[in-house]
Amino acid sequence: MAAHHDCAWASEKENECCFHFYVDRLPKNKVDDYRLTSPHCPNKGIIVRMQNGKEFCVNPDQRWLILLLCSCLVLLLFDLLKC
């Protein structure tokens, strides 16, 4: 995850949807950012952007992705509490 902790929680594009999901684990040290798909999509998904700019649609129920999201939340909370 990038050192600046980019954690996006909404899609930047109104109709950005995932129709096919990448099934393999992505290396977390190469993940740059991620965002949710649009709430209007038929399938919930998370779009993961890698450091090389490639993007992958991932099923939000994948355990490795849940752990990645939780670690990002912890880092964000820690940064917020360092007043």
Q: What is the pLDDT of residues 42-73, one digit of tens each?
A: 999 999 999 999 999 999 999 999 888 888 77
* pLDDT surpasses 60 at 36: yes
Structural domain for 25, as ranges: 1-83
pLDDT confidence tier of residue 13, bands split at 50, 70 and 90: low
In the chain, pLDDT over 70 holds for what percent of residues?
82
**What distance in Å separates the CA atoms of residue 45 and residue 40, rounded to the nearest whole number?**
11
Domain count, the chain: 1
Which CATH number does the domain housing residue 49 bear? 2.40.50.40
Taking the model in full, what pTM does it have?
0.74
Sequence-separated (6 or more) residues with CB below 8 Å from residue 49: 31, 32, 33, 34, 35, 55
